[in-house]
Amino acid sequence: MSEIVNQSLQKIAKGTGIIFIGTIIVLLLGFVGRVIIVRCITQSEYGIYSLAFVIISIFVTISTLGLQEGSTRYIAYFRGKNEGGKVKGIISSSIKIALTASIIFSLILFLSSDLISTNVFHSSELSTPLKIFSIAIPFTVLIGIFTSFFRGFDRVEPNVYFQNILMSVIYIMFLAGAVLLGLSFFGVLYAYLASVMFTCMAFAIYAIKKLPLPTFFVKKEADANTATAINPIGKELLLFSLPLLAVAMLNMIMSWTDILMLGYFKTADVVGLYNGALPLAHLIPMTLNSMGFIYVPIVSGLYSKKLIGEMGQTYQVLTKWIFSVTIPLFFILFLFPETVLNLLFGLNYIQAASALRILALGFMFHAFLGLNGLSLMVMGKTRFLMLNSLSGAISNVVLNVALIPIFGIVGAAFASLLSYSVVNILNSTKLYQLSKIHPFTRNYVKPIGISIALLALIYAFTSFLKIDFWMLPLLLSLFLFGYGLLLLLTRSFDKEDIDMILAIEKKAGIDAEPIKRLIRKFV
């Protein structure tokens, strides 16, 4: 393996660990905040709050215009080509475009809040929350844009510091203050707005001081090449990013179609059952998403230098690791969904076991193929990604219409499985056609076969038993022991795996020498 690939893998391993920890922290703090909200407002108010939050999320997504991914890619790309002036132009253009768009959409939501609340959702109580939340749109967009800048410089810590930890902590503090002062529902709304505004201001100060550039905006006295590059660069960035906005919107549609159509064809109880299974299945791609955050800037740098072979090696190693880290969670959710649902939500939710099993398989298939969509984005194929996402969204709608009336939540889950699988297969096919990049090395096929065999064996053994929740850790330990042992016996490890362990060891501050010594004997 080349030194370039080794360095790339070490950066990705370190960044993934940080993002993964940040994700866990934000989930825990989000749970605390949700508990406070539920206890201090009524169920009806919580419904209005949730609806307002979904609406503002849509407006924020539109306001970013796809620039969060686009600016990251271009900053890393131009850094790889040592074109610092263009990096400066990307930062300047991103802030100008995003700030302008977010202010416009903030005003649109503020002025149309009465219309949206009464004519669309038939709830006049929604109007004021939408007005309050609309003020947060420019601040939220800027937080995302600042994050994308640091991400383009291979720095993931600011995302964890500000977006994950600081904003969550401030929100909880303001929520607690609202409860103590008896501000109730409007206190919850203003607590969210205040947390976003404070986080944005703190992040802006940090970005000005810490970004490896003297300023965000290109000064008039800058050299002629930089000054004349601003408008063309801004136009190129926007044309690159707009299809990514369409991809984000289409992915949102795919995420919501199941819920909306279950609500249309079935009852609220059925929607509640499905909502028990869906969040659990969404945990499966957590490792893939964490790696994707730092994968884009690292691989963009390789692509700018036309190091396609190194890109392919990096892709293969990471896909193998994503699969191996994800398979234990898939093992629990796929083989024992009844036990998990009963433990977390109660006996009534066991009816969602089949849906959970199908959804888990769909998300695992994405992990199995790796970061194909992000690789295509790095290569500039945003138009293809948009068209592919459109086909996925359409197929998801058609399948839901056909299957939900007959099969209920199982039909909804199967629709998601098919549509997500088709999108991933097309992405992987396109990636291979363009670059010959694929994840299927011999030492990746072995773990796949081993995991399938172990899953089948343990399922056959446990199918005659009643599995209680206390048995899950024992069964997981048995699976992990068998998986690790068979990986060693079949010599499924590569030198790259030792390099990844070394990177994790350095970041975590642990001594993994016994593990590395054992693996070296089987490489």
Sign of the CA dihedral running 386, 387, 388, 392: positive
Delimit the domains of the chain by residue range: 8-222
Task: List the structure tokens of 474.
Answer: 């024992």
Task: List the structure tokens of 493.
Answer: 């490890």
Going from the C-alpha of 305 to that of each of 7, 85, 309, the distances in angstroms are 15, 18, 11
To 10 degrees, what angle do helices 513-520 and 495-508 make? 180
Contact 413, 371 (CB under 8 A): no
pLDDT tens per residue across all 523 residues of the chain: 467 777 777 777 777 777 878 878 887 887 777 777 767 777 677 777 777 887 888 899 899 998 988 899 889 888 888 887 888 888 888 888 999 999 999 999 999 988 988 887 777 888 888 999 999 999 999 999 999 999 888 888 888 888 888 898 898 888 888 777 776 788 888 888 999 999 999 999 998 887 755 444 444 434 444 444 345 788 888 888 889 888 888 888 887 788 878 877 887 678 778 877 888 898 898 888 888 888 888 888 888 888 888 888 889 888 998 998 899 999 999 999 999 998 887 888 899 999 999 999 999 999 999 899 999 999 989 899 999 999 999 999 999 999 999 999 999 999 999 999 999 999 999 999 999 999 998 888 988 999 999 999 998 888 887 888 888 899 999 998 988 888 888 887 777 666 666 666 555 555 556 665 666 655 5
Contact 293, 159 (CB under 8 A): yes
**C-alpha span between 313 and 212 (Å, rounded):** 29
**C-alpha span between 108 and 103 (Å, rounded):** 9
Task: Answer left, alpha or beta for residue 408, where phi above 0 means left and psi between -120 and 50 means alpha.
Answer: left
Please give the model's pTM, rounded to 2 decimal places.
0.79
